[in-house]
Amino acid sequence: MLKELELPIVDLPKETENLREEVRSFLSAELHNESFTTRSDSWLSGFSADFSRKLGERGWLGMTWPKKYGGHERTAFERFVVTEELLAAGAPVAAHWFADRQTGPLLLNYGTEYQRQTLLPRIVRGELFFAIGLSEPNSGSDLASISTRAKKSGNKWVINGSKIWSSGAHHAHYIVVLLRTATHGEKKHEGLSQMIVDLSAPGVTVRPIYLMTGEHHFNEVIFEDVEISEGMIVGEVGGGWKQSMAELAYERSGPERFLSTYPLLKELINQLSETSGQHANIKIGKLASRLWTLRCMSLGVAGLLEKGDSPNIAASLVKDLGTQFEKDVIDVARELIPSRPSMNAPTKFETLLAESILHAPGFTLRGGTTEILRSIIARGIGV
């Protein structure tokens, strides 16, 4: 019954350590040159097109993709190391994040040859950014109840409806939309498809949803009679649900699910280095052991993805445990160091703490709510 949650123990190959040092050296130079400031939750809040292009020039985007599409044919573990170091440093990786993490793999698995040849090389160079259109204003956590629809009209499709919580859509060039192309039968998962929509197309409106920090990362995207060609359908018409679920395995299991508040944890340890006592040491030790466990689990999922498996249930578990860990880092930081967190605070610790607190409500929403994830896990193990 628990076989679905079994994960392989993965030891990173020794050669990845050279790559790790290369990434750390790059990040150290960028910080020295003040090209970015360390932030919590940087894969959502840290947008820099220039930084993404620098990563593209170094071959750190599309790392595992075939060379004929501009990729570098490196291993999932090498990509894991690069991602881990970028997040740990709080580097601005939001611009390319969704394209590199899930749109590219989606197109490699289900896209047409035209889509692969025209879109993937630009993603690899850090020039083309994507947003994701899954959730809707009236569907809550029930993704299968979405109502955004595309109707066939001649040799085109016409889209009407809206998506919500689309991160970075105000910066992205395209959005991958899950929508209805047919009325569902007894199963709500039927009749769903995925399409690529140009965010500059007539009929597309992107409205901001501001965070409590005043920052703009999330959006509502509205489609009013938006026309797209058949060439922008991803995979089979009606196969959208299966494709989206495979895509979510990449979204839910990566190190971003437990490293969003790592810059705060690192700064907390720095602050405690000369004053900590037994109580603080125990608190930090517990966080460190959980962090190590989550990292091992995430590596296990990466190992299964490398073999071509689709470990949706284990990925959901990583996401559920990871986002709880991220919130607990905040609670421990507030408990151990008296502070006045503010985005304009004079200390790095208080700034990172404020940023983490204000971003925290989104941790358990993005990529599937806690309730949805636990339902997936329960069904998967037969509970």
Question: What digits encode the pLDDT tens for the residues 254-277?
Answer: 888 899 999 999 999 999 987 778
Residue among 291, 318, 292, 290 at smallest CA distance from 304? 318
- Taking only the tens place, the pLDDT of each residue in 336-369 is 999 999 999 999 999 999 999 999 988 887 777 8
Evaluate if residue 93 carries a pLDDT over 90: yes
CA 239 – CA 236 distance, rounded (Å): 5
Q: Is CATH 1.10.287.1770 the classification given to domain 132-241?
A: no
- Taking only the tens place, the pLDDT of each residue in 1-54 is 567 778 888 888 888 999 999 999 999 999 999 999 999 999 988 999 999 999
The model's confidence at residue 179, banded by pLDDT at 50, 70 and 90, is very high
Whole-prediction pTM: 0.90
Query: What average pLDDT score do residues 108-118 get?
Result: 96
- Taking only the tens place, the pLDDT of each residue in 284-300 is 999 999 999 999 999 99
Q: What percent of the chain has pLDDT over 70?
A: 98
Q: Which fold does the domain 3-128 belong to in CATH?
A: Butyryl-Coa Dehydrogenase, subunit A; domain 1 (1.10.540)
pLDDT at 29: 97
> CB–CB of 166/219 below 8 Å?
yes
What is the b/e burial string over 37-55, where b = at least 16 CB atoms within 10 angstroms of the residue's CB? ebbbbbbbbbbbeebbbeb
User: Both tokens of residue 271?
Assistant: 């602050």
CATH class for the region spanning 254-381: mainly alpha
- Taking only the tens place, the pLDDT of each residue in 207-230 is 999 988 788 999 999 999 999 999
Phi and psi torsions of 160, nearest 5°:
-135, 140
Evaluate if residue 248 carries a pLDDT over 80: no
- Taking only the tens place, the pLDDT of each residue in 25-40 is 999 999 999 999 999 9
Evaluate if residue 188 carries a pLDDT over 90: no
Q: Hunting for tokens 């292009």 — which residue is that?
A: 53
Q: Is the dihedral of CA 275, 281, 285, 287 positive or negative?
A: negative
pLDDT at 309: 80
pLDDT at 2: 66
Query: What's the whole-number average pLDDT of the chain?
Result: 92
Residue 81 per-residue DSSP state: H
Q: According to CATH, where is 2.40.110.10 located in the chain?
A: 132-241
Q: According to CATH, where is 1.10.540.10 located in the chain?
A: 3-128
Q: According to CATH, where is 1.20.140.10 located in the chain?
A: 254-381
pLDDT at 156: 96
In terms of Cβ atoms closer than 10 Å to its own Cβ (0-12, 13-18, 19+), residue 318 is: buried
Three-point CA angle 352, 357, 361, nearest 5°: 140
pLDDT at 7: 87
